[in-house]
Amino acid sequence: MTGRLYGVGLGPGDPELITLKAARLIEAADVVVFHAARHGRSHARAIAAAHLHDGQIEEPLIYPVTTEATTDYRTVMEAFYEDCARRLAVHLDAGRDVVVLAEGDPFFYGSYMHLHKRLAGRYPTTVVPGVTSIAGASAELGRPLVERDETLTVLPGTLGDDALADRLRAADSAVVLKLGRTFTAVRTALERAERLDDAWYVEHATTGDQRIERLADVAADTVPYFSVAVLPSRIHEETRRTLPTANSPQATTVGLTPAEAAQQPRDGGTTVNLGPAGDASGQGSEATAIGPAGAVQESRGEGTTVGLGPAGDASEPRSAGTVAGAVQPRDGGTAVGLGPAGDASQPRRAGTVAGTVQPRDRGTTVGLGSAEDASEPRSAETVAGPGGAVQPRGQGTAVGLGSAGDASQPRGEGTAVGLGSAGDASGRRAAGTVAGAVQGRGAVTVVGLGPAGREWLTPQAQEALAAADDLVGYRPYLDRVAPNARQRRHPSGNTVEADRAAFALELAREGRRVAVVSSGDPGVFAMATAVLEAAEAFPDVPVRVLPGVTAANAVAARAGAPLGHDYCVLSLSDRLKPWDVIARRLTAAAESDLVIAIYNPASKTRVHQVAEARDLLLRHRAKDTPVVIGRDVGGPAESVRIVPLADLDPADVDMRCLLIVGSSQTRRAGDTVFTPRRYP
């Protein structure tokens, strides 16, 4: 059974605009896919970061080209999307559900569409719509796009001057996407269409880097790709001017200069002038408009933007491009100002600190729990400085913590490290795209795969395999793990357990996350003991063991419940112990009337033990004692047979078999075998 492909829209940038359905699917995904430029940072991953977790496989798809000019752009991109589709198909064929993160809406000028057309006919597919950049820009601009019988024209900036001018001239309302290097051509087209005076420019809509201006005032060399040109509804603009509120203090201040914005607060409140460092002394040239109940509306330019809702509740301002000396709380409370170095020891306004503090110089973020003084972050004993270096707190760089020290998502552009409780740098949910994050030391996890395919894996084992950098194991067992292009595989033979264990520990000592795979349960005649024994020489390397479904339990379940009472587990292999020890233990188990699960009953070089074990057991068991022969349980060649002990034929048994020999109380009813819980 294959996995399902999901194209999930994230909206234009504000993580709170992710839909509930999108959030649920992202959190449940086996594989999370996102596009990124060659620098490796991904806007999509940053938006969805709060919904990712360590158990997921992340597949970054790195564009070979982005906005730079190239003569064979289409050829290069088609080859790129073909390769991406092949990579995703590997996961889908392995039964993994794959979520492709798409900024805005997946079917609106998005890269996901190129994957969808290549994969939707082969795999079950679901597309989850998202808020488009057009909707986000219109909302932030405060101007509707269409009213009554108007039509909306959506154009890519790559269309060309003449075509753009013709369509803009004929349009009621319009939005032009994909600006960046096309901005000059778009501006020229608007001018030729005599629509330049009506046009607005919106950059990074709904994010902390948002910028809104009249398009005629924008310098071409400042325009990024993630920006749009908007011609709002003509009808709305004409009718709005006739309303009595059009020129009131409550009128929209979008696009005004800082001085104009200060004179026209959006909600009719009081205007407060802020100094360069955000001091409310009235000495600075920048201004912040404060509405009723202390709600700050907007400050353009380099001043401070602080959002306060009723009764000092901190709401999140959306139009702050650069925050200087200010706090942008998320979850309620009173805002706190920071000094030049981001030191939170001198709060400028009294009260509780809410959610997230943003230092003035675009560093990373310090989260303070509610009802905490700004001088005492709850659990951040260390913070991440430039390049991921851990520094003592108070150095001007900070770390994002939610209430009670939980990792929350920083919104600035500095280095971000998510901290768990007590300042442990193990959390990953804090960082959208984590640059220079603290790298944890390596470790070895011994993983039980169960007796067969993916459906026998525990969720815990699946998470460990997905998180590993390297997989080490016997080749047939490694082949049962679905491929992951990010990982390295190290197969070996079946008789070199000690060497395999030492190799895994060496990799971990180098900082790698290593999964050593074992069939069944790793603690039952498998790799856990070998790794733990070798680990005595690697005291600095953490080792953990994750259980799996062992063959005895799998075969027993197929046959009924033969292990329903006391039983023992033995291996017939004499490679690591002599046959006389095996015979003595078999005799003791038979004399004790225990059900016996027998591992490793035979191999190509061991063909006599099954017959010898049968004859030994017949000295203490009845000839009709039921014996379960389970072979390749869970695999394509599965077979389960029940035979009397006297009829056990060594020719029917090989290394892929497990035998369960019943006790005197074990009963057979047709194809079912069980051992009662009571003993007479």
pLDDT digits (tens, 9 = 90+) for 283-311: 333 333 333 333 334 333 343 434 333 33
Residue 311 lies in a domain: no
Confidence grade of residue 219 (pLDDT, cut at 50, 70, 90):
very high
459 and 533 share a domain?
Answer: yes
507 and 534 share a domain?
Answer: yes
Residue 407 lies in a domain: no
In CATH, what number is assigned to the domain containing residue 648?
Answer: 3.30.950.10
Mean pLDDT across 449-460: 88
221 and 180 share a domain?
Answer: yes
pLDDT digits (tens, 9 = 90+) for 232-260: 999 888 887 777 655 544 444 444 433 34
60 burial level (CB within 10 Å; 0-12, 13-18, 19+): middle
pLDDT digits (tens, 9 = 90+) for 637-673: 899 999 999 999 999 999 899 999 999 999 999 999 9
588 and 532 share a domain?
Answer: no
pLDDT surpasses 90 at 594: yes
Radius of gyration of the chain (CA): 33
Total domain count for the chain?
A: 4
Q: What residues have CB less than 8 Å from 557, skipping those under 6 apart?
A: none
52 and 118 share a domain?
Answer: yes
- CA 464 and chain centroid, separation: 14
Q: Provide the pLDDT for residue 482.
A: 82
In CATH, what number is assigned to the domain containing residue 61?
Answer: 3.40.1010.10
How far is residue 49's CA from residue 410's CA, in Å, rounded to a whole number?
Answer: 10
Which structural domain range is residue 649 located in?
551-674
Residue 279 lies in a domain: no
pLDDT surpasses 70 at 77: yes
How far is residue 290's CA from residue 293's CA, in Å, rounded to a whole number?
Answer: 8
How far is residue 677's CA from residue 563's CA, in Å, rounded to a whole number?
Answer: 9
* Residue bearing the bigger pLDDT, 418 or 191: 191
Confidence grade of residue 65 (pLDDT, cut at 50, 70, 90):
confident
26 and 76 share a domain?
Answer: yes
Whether 232 and 198 have beta carbons less than 8 Å apart is answered as yes
Residue of 673, 561, 582, 663 lying closest to 621 (CA atoms): 663
Mean pLDDT across 71-97: 91
Give the three-class secondary structure for 631.
Answer: strand
122 and 35 share a domain?
Answer: yes
Pairing relationship of beta strands 513-518 and 443-448 according to DSSP bridges: parallel
- Percent of the chain having pLDDT more than 70? 70
507 and 597 share a domain?
Answer: no
Residue 621 lies in a domain: yes
109 and 178 share a domain?
Answer: no
625 and 511 share a domain?
Answer: no
Q: What residues have CB less than 8 Å from 126, skipping those under 6 apart?
A: 4, 5, 6, 7, 25
115 and 146 share a domain?
Answer: no
Place of tokens 């740098």: 425
Residue 278 lies in a domain: no
- CA 74 and chain centroid, separation: 30
Mean pLDDT across 205-221: 94
* Residue bearing the bigger pLDDT, 378 or 495: 495
564 and 538 share a domain?
Answer: no
Residue 395 lies in a domain: no
Final residue of a domain: which of 208, 240, 272?
Answer: 240
Residue 350 lies in a domain: no
* Residue bearing the bigger pLDDT, 414 or 466: 466
pLDDT digits (tens, 9 = 90+) for 531-585: 999 999 999 999 999 999 999 999 999 999 999 999 999 999 988 899 999 999 9
Residue 327 lies in a domain: no
Look up the pTM and report it.
0.48
Q: Provide the pLDDT for residue 540.
A: 94
Whether 432 and 228 have beta carbons less than 8 Å apart is answered as no
Q: Provide the pLDDT for residue 604.
A: 82
Final residue of a domain: which of 131, 153, 175?
Answer: 131
Final residue of a domain: which of 110, 131, 152?
Answer: 131
Determine which helix (DSSP H) or strand (DSSP E) holds 513, and give its type and residue range. Answer: strand 513-518
pLDDT surpasses 50 at 217: yes
Q: What is the mean pLDDT of the chain?
A: 77
